[in-house]
Structure 1
Amino acid sequence: MGQWTDLDTPHGPVAAWRAEPTGPSRGALVLLQEIFGVNEHIRSVADRFGQAGYTTLAPDLFAPVQPHIELGYGSEDAARGGELRNAVGFDRAVEIAGAAAHRLQDEGLRTGVVGYCWGGSLAFLCNTRLGLPAVSYYGARTVPFLGEPTRAPIVFHFGERDASIPPEAIDAHRAALPNAPIYLYNAGHGFNCELRPDYHADSADVAWRRTLDFFADALK
C-alpha cells in the first residue's frame, strides 16, 4: 500500500503517491494520471506496479492549479478535469514528471514512465523530451507531437472502439513511429480503469502483461 510524499518541482512542492516494490526491485516508474487527478484508481494502479516490483511515483499534475483534487468519471467531473488539464498545460506537466523521474534516478533506480489518457500523451512527451522508456495508454492528444523524435523504447495501447482516437490517428502513429509496437484492443477509451464504463477486463489484462514485459526489458 502506497502513501503520499512531497516532491520538489520547478513549479513548487507537489504531492505524489509513492508505492514501494514488494520483493526484488525491478526499477522505477513515474505514473501519469488521467484528467481525474491522482484518484483512487490511479493510486491503485501505482500500488499494483509496486506489487510487480517497481518503485512508483504518481505526481499530482494538477498541483500548480488546484492541488489535491480527485474527480470521478461523470460528465461534470470530466469537464472540470479538462479545464484543469488545459490550465496546467503539457509543458508544466512534463516538468513535474521530470522532477519525479529525477527523484527516482537519484535513488539509483532505472526509471520509465507510464501514462493513461492525458497521461498517455504526456508519457510520449516524457520519452521525446526526457529520454524515458514509456508506455502510453490511449493518449488522445499525441498526434500534434508526433514530429518529436523518440529517445527511448515506447509502446502504445489503444482501444479500437475509442471515439477520441480514430483510425487515422492510429495510422499517424504508425507512420511516424514505424518501429514502435502499437497494440489494439476490442475496447473503448479508458479500458484499463475498472471505474469507467469502457472498462474491459480481458483487454486490461493483456495490456498489463505487455506493459510488464516491456519494462522488464527496457529497464533491465
Structure 2
Amino acid sequence: MTANTQISTLDQDGEFAAYVARPESKPRAAIVVIQEIFGINAGIRRKCDLLAEDGYLAVAPDLFWRLEPGIELDPDIEPEFQRALDLMGKFDQDMGVRDIEAAIEWARDDMEEGKVGAVGYCLGGRLAYMTAARTGSDATVGYYGVGIDELLREKDAIANPLMLHIPTEDGFVDKDTQKAMHEGLDDHPKVTLYDYEGLDHGFATEFGERRSEEAAQLADKRTAEFFAKHLG
C-alpha cells in the first residue's frame, strides 16, 4: 500500500510531504529513502515500493520542500538535469539531515516498535553518511555519495553500521576522493566500503540510462543483507 503523508519538522515550525510504502503485514523495520537531486521521482518511489515488498515500511521525505515542493525531475533529460544541479546548489544539507531525522522519528512513532534505518542515493548518498553521523539511524547505506572526504571529521560520531557503495569511475567523485574515503574509513569498526570497478555515478538507479543491471543487483543484494542483519 502506498500513500503520501505530511511530516512535521523537528522544531514543529513546518511540515513536508513524504511518499510512504507499507508492507502487507506488520513491518519488520522501517527505512527512510533519501532522494537524489531529482526529487521524489518515479525511481525513488520504486525504491520504496521494493522495500515494502521486502517487508519494510519505506518513507521518502521531500527534502527540496523549502525550495520547490513536489519537484520531480528526469536525469536523462538535460534541462531537467541542469535544473536539479541548480536546486542542489541552493539546498541546505544541514537542514536536510534534520528533515531526515524527523522522518526517522515519524517512522519510529508509526511502527510503535522496531528499528529504523536509512538508504540514500547521489546527494542522498552524502546525506546518508551525515545521517549515520548525526542521527539515531540504526543502520545506513549510501550509494555513490559525493564529497564524503569533506565529512571525514565526523566519522567518530558514527555509532551504528554504515555501508557505502563506491563506483570507481564516478564522474562526480575522483580517484583522490575515493582514496581519502578508504584511508579515512577502512579501519572504522562500523563502516563497510564496496568498490564497483568501472562503474559510474547512478549505476543503481531503477530507471533510465545510468543503470548497470549486474552491478545494481549486486549492490542491492549487499544492501538487503546488510539491512536484514542490522534491522531485522
TM-score by length of 2: 0.90
Alpha carbons 1:147, 1:176 under 8 Å: kept = no
Alpha carbons 2:202, 2:211 under 8 Å: kept = yes
Select which of 94, 102, 106 maps to 2:105.
102
Q: Report what 1:69 is aligned to.
A: 71
Select which of 122, 132, 143 maps to 1:117.
122
Q: Report what 1:146 is aligned to.
A: 152
Larger mean Cα displacement after TM superposition, 195-204 or 44-53: 195-204
Give a deviation string over 1:99-141, Cα, whole Å, max 9, x none.
Answer: 1000111232310110000000001101100032210000112
Q: Which runs of 5+ in 2 are unaligned?
A: none
Q: Which amino acid aligns with 1:212?
A: A
Say if 1:109 and 1:85 are closer, same or farther in 2 by CA, change over 3 A. Answer: farther
Q: Report what 1:45 is aligned to.
A: 47
**Alpha-carbon distance between aligned partners in 2 of 1:29 and 1:210, rounded to the nearest angstrom:** 15
Give a deviation string over 1:36-73, Cα, whole Å, max 9, x none.
Answer: 00001100111101111110110000001110110111
CA drift of 1:143 comes to: 1.7
Q: Superposition pairs for residues 163-174 of structure 1, below 5 Å?
A: 163-174=171-182
**Alpha-carbon distance between aligned partners in 2 of 1:43 and 1:123, rounded to the nearest angstrom:** 17
Say if 1:196 and 1:146 are closer, same or farther in 2 by CA, change over 3 A. Answer: farther
Q: Report what 2:33 is aligned to.
A: 31
Larger mean Cα displacement after TM superposition, 170-179 or 122-131: 170-179
CA drift of 1:197 comes to: 2.4
Q: How many correspondences in the alignment? A: 220
Say if 1:130 and 1:176 are closer, same or farther in 2 by CA, change over 3 A. Answer: same
Q: Report what 2:23 is aligned to.
A: 21
Identity of aligned residues (%): 34
CA drift of 1:25 comes to: 2.5
Alpha carbons 1:26, 1:216 under 8 Å: kept = no
CA drift of 1:177 comes to: 1.2
Name segments (4+ residues, structure 1) moved above 3 Å: none
SS at match of 2:126: helix
**Alpha-carbon distance between aligned partners in 2 of 1:108 and 1:80, rounded to the nearest angstrom:** 40
SS at match of 1:181: strand
Select which of 180, 192, 214 maps to 2:204.
192
SS at match of 1:146: helix
**Alpha-carbon distance between aligned partners in 1 of 2:206 and 2:228, rounded to the nearest angstrom:** 25
TM-score by length of 1: 0.94
Q: Which runs of 5+ in 1 are unaligned?
A: none
Q: Report what 1:4 is aligned to.
A: 4
Larger mean Cα displacement after TM superposition, 142-151 or 52-61: 142-151
**Alpha-carbon distance between aligned partners in 2 of 1:196 and 1:139, rounded to the nearest angstrom:** 19
